[in-house]
């Protein structure tokens, strides 16, 4: 069977008359930090060129502000002058050389800005941004509208095939549309007709200025997920109006940034919100595009097959694998490096002011710096440990032409990812293991599982180079009673499935402590796989009868079947070290399930009665059945000394190198970089 037949809808071109999208895929807009690169847009050009080469139908850049005061921050990217447009020519040229199409996203942040010069329809501060915005005068609103039109014209002059007008996620267009942020009484406020004048003027004036043969995508907020957002009736009125005003494609936006509901984290079911796009599709004639947590070709195909949308937008999945579409076309599904929705290297970086990348693909946004060049001198390499660090090293070294043997004591590839994948809401981690397995097979890595390799085997194995990616051991604690029979490690619980009583105390509230609490507090609702269960838990009305999709709907978290205490010694907020964009979702979930979080704890002893602690100078007994240790890890590198003594060339990767603040992002990045240098 030809693979085009396997994903026939996804791989079908979309003919717009004057131009054609090669597949039904849009790479959705993501701010990567390359937009503001001091050396110009050369890196951004190669970033998009790789995705164009990979078969994406339409690429959309990160947001560029059409006006000085509309930026996301004081010096953020903008498209205001002819000189700005000229800087972009390298981007459009490289994408076109690779046969792709690209649109520039026009984003005016309004009150969602870190600039002190921020603007908005009304002087109401966003709850998650620091400054009160300046209220635009009528003339200033006119200027902001015109700035979008000017920017679209400049984009066209720079060679872009279109623009996306950013009308979702709570940016200025949303702010005009909703009474939550717009309390004006002039022609831009009051009735819905007045409130939607801002986006409508933008779209109709852009269309007039750029002519018919230029793509205008409008990112429409389908469900705001904040109190006081749009009703579904208002969304449809706007959709029909912008269609009449000349948009080419309507893309889906889900939730404002200030919404307290996760919309893209890995705990969100795949394609969770496509039923809402399907409702929009019934109301308009232009192609509509579904988005959010669509991360595999089969999920995308299903969305199209079910006629929920005409196109699918995937932003992070294209960061994870620029060749996503080509691999789907060529029957290499298992070789697609699937986005696991972790946000660790993309959004967490962006929101910390760092350049984005991807946990599973460190080349993302570093296309010109991290290059895997075929070797001229193949070496015989042993990689010990098939966790993320060892897998990444083995993959890159083998791709470059080295002769790689990969050892692991366990019977399966993946290292600690085999624990992570068992946590409810982390099912995507299976995909990374599948990907590495397929790639290692493709590049001919000799995989030896189920045997702990010894120093003498490595010394006598005739290897030119040995990589120790042997990971970690859980930190041993010196608390009185630590060897009591009621004490378990996270490995006992996750891997060995040792029975856990009705009440537990978890020592350590880092990533693993949270994951163990998630595992043990999990009830019957499968909220990361079952869309309805997810909607019920977070109080979302997908039938769209409630304003904003939430008003009048109660959250409904299933209480934990066990009594759980999650503990740390630090007096800082529990979970403060979790991911910037996802930590709050984990804290909210556990709190709502009734998990008790206690900070500032001193551990005194463990006995059959439970865990004895001191908090705020007060001695307490947590009368629990089990105490589970999730107190960090220490490097496992026992093979290093004998190998060095035998003059074997040896390098450490991942946890074996440094256990402090280890995560898979660092392990994969380090493994890939070292292998690129071999």
Stated as kind and residue range, the H or E segment containing 313 is strand 311-313
Out of 513, 539, 549, 610, the residue judged to bind ligand NAP by CB under 6 A: 513
Residues binding ligand SF4: what is the number (CB under 6 A)?
14
Nearer to ligand FAD, 145 or 517 (CB): 517
Which of ligand SF4, ligand NAP, ligand FAD, none lies near 569, with the C-beta cut-off 5 to 8 A by kind?
ligand NAP
Binding mask 630-659 for ligand NAP (x = CB under 6 A): xxxx--------------------------
Q: How far apart are CA 440 and CA 398, in angstroms?
A: 8
Catalytic pick among 129, 171, 435, 603: 171
Give the C-alpha distances (Å, rounded to integers) separating 173 from 53, 96, 249: 33, 30, 17
Angle at alpha carbon of residue 224, lines to 220 and 228, rounded to 5°: 125
The first and second tokens of residue 635, run together, are 């490097």
Tokens found for residue 109? 């942040």
508 contributes a contact to ligand NAP by CB under 6 A? yes
d(CA 436, CA 491): 23
Q: What is the CA radius of gyration of the chain?
A: 26
- The residue (of 339 and 662) whose beta carbon lies closer to ligand SF4 is 339
Segment 353 to 392, residues that bind ligand FAD, using CB under 6 A: 384-390
- Is residue 348 within a helix (H) or strand (E), and if so which, with residue range? helix 347-350
Q: What is the 3-state secondary structure (H, E, C) of 376-407?
A: CCCCEEEEECCCHHHHHHHHHHHHCCCEEEEE
Tell me which stretch binds ligand SF4 (CB under 6 A): 187-195, 312-320, 518-526, 563-571: 312-320
With beta carbons less than 8 A apart as the criterion, state whether 157 and 164 touch.
no
Check binding of 267 to ligand SF4 (CB under 6 A): no
| 8 Å CB contact between 206 and 200 | no
**Which residue blocks in 9-41 are alpha helix, DSSP H?**
none
Cα 122 to chain centroid, rounded? 32
Which range in 36-44, 66-74, 302-310, 467-475 contacts ligand FAD by CB under 6 A? 467-475
Q: In a 10 Å sphere around its CB, with 0-12 CB exposed, 13-18 middle and 19+ buried, how is residue 619 labelled?
A: exposed
- In the set 172, 493, 507, 520, which binds ligand NAP (CB under 6 A)? 507
CB of 316 to ligand SF4, least distance (A): 4
Q: Does 341 bind ligand NAP (CB under 6 A)?
A: no
Question: Who's near 152: CB < 8 A, 6+ residues apart?
Answer: 66, 106, 163, 206, 209, 210, 214, 216
In this structure, are residues 290 and 274 in contact, taking their beta carbons and an 8 Å threshold? yes
Query: Of residues 26, 172, 203, 340, which one binds ligand SF4 by CB under 6 A?
Result: 340
Q: Is 569 in the site for ligand NAP (CB under 6 A)?
A: yes
Distances (CA, A) of 412 to 181, 386, 447: 53, 8, 10
Least distance in Å: CB of 494 to ligand FAD? 6
Task: Identify which of residues 245 and 512 has a Cβ nearer to ligand NAP in the complex.
Answer: 512
- From candidates 154, 359, 423, 648, binder to ligand SF4 by CB under 6 A: 359
**CB nearer to ligand FAD: pick between 456 and 602:** 456
E strand intervals along 91-234: 102-106, 119-120, 134-135, 162-167, 215-223
Pairing assessment for the beta strands 503-507 and 563-567 based on DSSP bridges: parallel
Q: Which residues contact 424 (CB under 8 A, 6 or more apart)?
A: 518, 519, 522, 526, 527, 528
Output the smallest distance, CB 666 to ligand SF4, in A: 12
Q: Is 650 in the site for ligand SF4 (CB under 6 A)?
A: no
Residue 389 partner contact from ligand FAD, ligand NAP, ligand SF4, none using kind-dependent CB cut-offs of 5 to 8 Å:
ligand FAD
Take residue 640 and report the two structure tokens written for it: 């290093």
Number of residues near ligand FAD (by CB under 6 A): 37
Interface with ligand NAP includes 70 (CB under 6 A)? no
Quote the longest CA-to-CA distance of the chain: 83
Choose the stretch contacting ligand NAP; rule: CB under 6 A; options: 89-97, 271-279, 533-541, 566-574. Answer: 566-574
Closest CA to 319 of 277, 272, 351, 367: 367
For residue 341, the partner it binds in ligand FAD, ligand NAP, ligand SF4, none, with Cβ less than 5 to 8 A by kind, is: ligand SF4
What is the C-alpha separation between 382 and 406, in angstroms, rounded?
6
* Residues 404 to 423 in contact with ligand FAD, rule: CB under 6 A: 407-410, 415-417, 419-420, 423
Name the residue nearer to ligand SF4 (CB basis): 179 or 298: 298
Given 85, 222, 506, 512, the residue binding ligand NAP (CB under 6 A): 512
In the complex with ligand FAD, which residue's Cβ is closer, 132 or 473?
473
Token pair of 183 as six digits: 């309390």
Q: Which is nearer to ligand SF4, 72 or 342 (CB)?
A: 342
State the sign of the Cα–Cα–Cα–Cα dihedral 594, 599, 604, 605. positive
Structure tokens at 446: 């000799």
345 binds, among ligand NAP, ligand FAD, ligand SF4, none (CB under 5 to 8 A by kind): ligand SF4
Q: Is the Cα dihedral 18, 19, 23, 29 positive or negative? A: negative
Using CA atoms, how far apart are residues 300 and 448, in angstroms rounded to an integer?
Answer: 35
List the interface residues with ligand FAD, window 490-519 (CB under 6 A): 494, 511-512, 515
**Could you confirm whether 171 is annotated as catalytic?**
yes
CB of 389 to ligand FAD, least distance (A): 3
Q: Which of 165, 220, 238, 346 binds ligand SF4 (CB under 6 A)?
A: 346
Residue 320 binds which one of ligand FAD, ligand NAP, ligand SF4, none, with CB within 5 to 8 A depending on kind? ligand SF4
- Smallest gap from residue 603 Cβ to ligand NAP (A): 6
From the CB of 404, what's the least distance to ligand FAD, in Å? 15
511 contacts ligand SF4 (rule: CB under 6 A): no
Q: Residue 539 binds what, of ligand FAD, ligand NAP, ligand SF4, none (CB under 5 to 8 Å, by partner type)?
A: none
Given a contact cutoff of 8 angstroms between Cβ atoms, the answer to whether 428 and 266 are in contact is yes
Cα distance between residue 188 and residue 32, in whole Å: 33
Altogether, the residues listed in the chain come to a count of 678
Please report, as ranges, the residues that interact with ligand FAD according to CB under 6 A.
Answer: 342, 344, 384-390, 407-410, 415-417, 419-420, 423, 452-453, 469-472, 494, 511-512, 515, 636, 654-655, 662-665, 667
Please report, as ranges, the residues that interact with ligand SF4 according to CB under 6 A.
Answer: 316, 319-320, 339-346, 358-360
Please report, as ranges, the residues that interact with ligand NAP according to CB under 6 A.
Answer: 344, 475, 477, 507-513, 515, 568-570, 577, 579, 630-633, 661-663
Query: Which residue numbers are catalytic?
Result: 171
């Amino acid at each position: 069977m030809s693979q085009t037949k396997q994903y026939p809808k996804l791989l079908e071109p979309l003919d717009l008359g004057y131009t054609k999208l090669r597949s039904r895929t849009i790479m959705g807009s993501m701010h990567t930090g390359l937009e503001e690169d001091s050396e110009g847009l050369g890196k951004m050009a190669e970033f998009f060129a790789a995705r164009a080469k990979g078969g994406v139908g339409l690429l959309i850049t990160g947001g560029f502000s059409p006006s000085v005061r509309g930026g996301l921050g004081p010096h953020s990217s903008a498209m205001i002058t002819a000189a700005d447009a000229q800087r972009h020519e390298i981007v459009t040229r490289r994408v076109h050389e690779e046969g792709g199409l690209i649109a520039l996203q026009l984003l005016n942040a309004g009150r969602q800005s870190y600039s002190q010069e921020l603007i908005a329809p009304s002087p109401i501060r966003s709850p998650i941004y620091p400054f009160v915005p300046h209220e635009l005068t009528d003339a200033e609103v006119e200027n902001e509208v015109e700035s979008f039109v000017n920017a679209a014209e400049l984009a066209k002059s720079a060679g872009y095939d279109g623009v996306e007008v950013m009308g979702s996620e709570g940016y200025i267009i949303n702010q005009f549309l909703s009474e939550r942020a717009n309390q004006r009484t002039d022609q831009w406020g009051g009735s819905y007709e007045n409130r939607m004048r801002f986006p409508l003027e933008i779209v109709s004036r852009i269309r007039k200025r750029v002519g018919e043969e230029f793509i205008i995508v409008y990112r429409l907020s389908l469900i705001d997920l904040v109190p006081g957002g749009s009703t579904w009736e208002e969304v449809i009125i706007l959709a029909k109006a912008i269609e009449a005003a000349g948009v080419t494609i309507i893309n889906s936006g889900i939730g404002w940034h200030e919404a307290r509901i996760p919309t893209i984290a890995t705990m969100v079911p795949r394609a969770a919100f496509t039923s809402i796009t399907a409702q929009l599709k019934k109301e308009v004639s232009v192609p509509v595009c579904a988005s959010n947590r669509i991360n595999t070709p089969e999920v995308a195909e299903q969305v199209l097959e079910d006629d929920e949308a005409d196109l699918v937008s995937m932003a992070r999945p294209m960061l994870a694998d620029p060749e996503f579409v080509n691999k789907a076309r060529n029957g290499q599904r298992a070789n697609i490096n699937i986005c696991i929705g972790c946000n660790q290297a993309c959004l967490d970086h962006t929101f910390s002011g760092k350049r984005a990348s991807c946990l599973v693909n460190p080349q993302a946004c570093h296309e010109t710096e991290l290059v895997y060049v075929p070797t001229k001198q193949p070496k015989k390499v042993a990689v010990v440990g098939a966790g993320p660090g060892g897998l990444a090293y083995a993959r890159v070294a083998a791709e470059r032409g080295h002769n790689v043997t990969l050892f692991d004591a366990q019977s399966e590839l993946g290292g600690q990812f085999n624990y992570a994948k068992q946590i409810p809401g982390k099912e995507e981690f299976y995909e990374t293991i599948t990907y590495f397995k397929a790639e290692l097979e493709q590049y001919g890595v000799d995989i030896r599982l189920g045997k702990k390799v010894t120093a003498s085997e490595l010394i006598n194995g005739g290897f030119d180079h040995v990589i120790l990616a042997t990971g970690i051991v859980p930190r041993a604690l010196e608390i009185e009673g630590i060897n009591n029979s009621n004490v378990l490690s996270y490995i006992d619980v996750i891997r060995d499935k040792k029975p856990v009583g009705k009440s537990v105390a978890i020592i350590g509230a880092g990533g693993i402590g949270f994951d163990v609490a998630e595992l043990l507090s999990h009830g019957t609702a499968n909220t990361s796989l079952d869309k309805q269960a997810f909607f019920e838990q977070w109080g979302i009305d997908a039938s769209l009868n409630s304003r904003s999709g939430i008003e009048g709907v109660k959250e409904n978290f299933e209480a934990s079947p066990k009594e759980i205490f999650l503990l740390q010694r630090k007096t800082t907020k529990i979970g403060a070290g979790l991911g910037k964009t996802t930590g709050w979702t984990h804290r909210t979930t556990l709190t709502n399930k009734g998990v008790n979080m206690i900070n500032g704890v001193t551990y005194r002893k463990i006995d059959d009665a439970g865990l004895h602690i001191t908090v705020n100078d007060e001695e307490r007994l947590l009368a629990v059945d089990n105490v589970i240790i999730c107190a960090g890890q220490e490097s496992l590198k026992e093979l290093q000394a004998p190998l060095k003594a035998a003059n074997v060339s040896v390098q450490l990767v991942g946890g074996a190198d440094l256990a402090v603040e280890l995560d898979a992002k660092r392990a994969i990045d380090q493994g890939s970089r070292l292998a690129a240098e071999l």
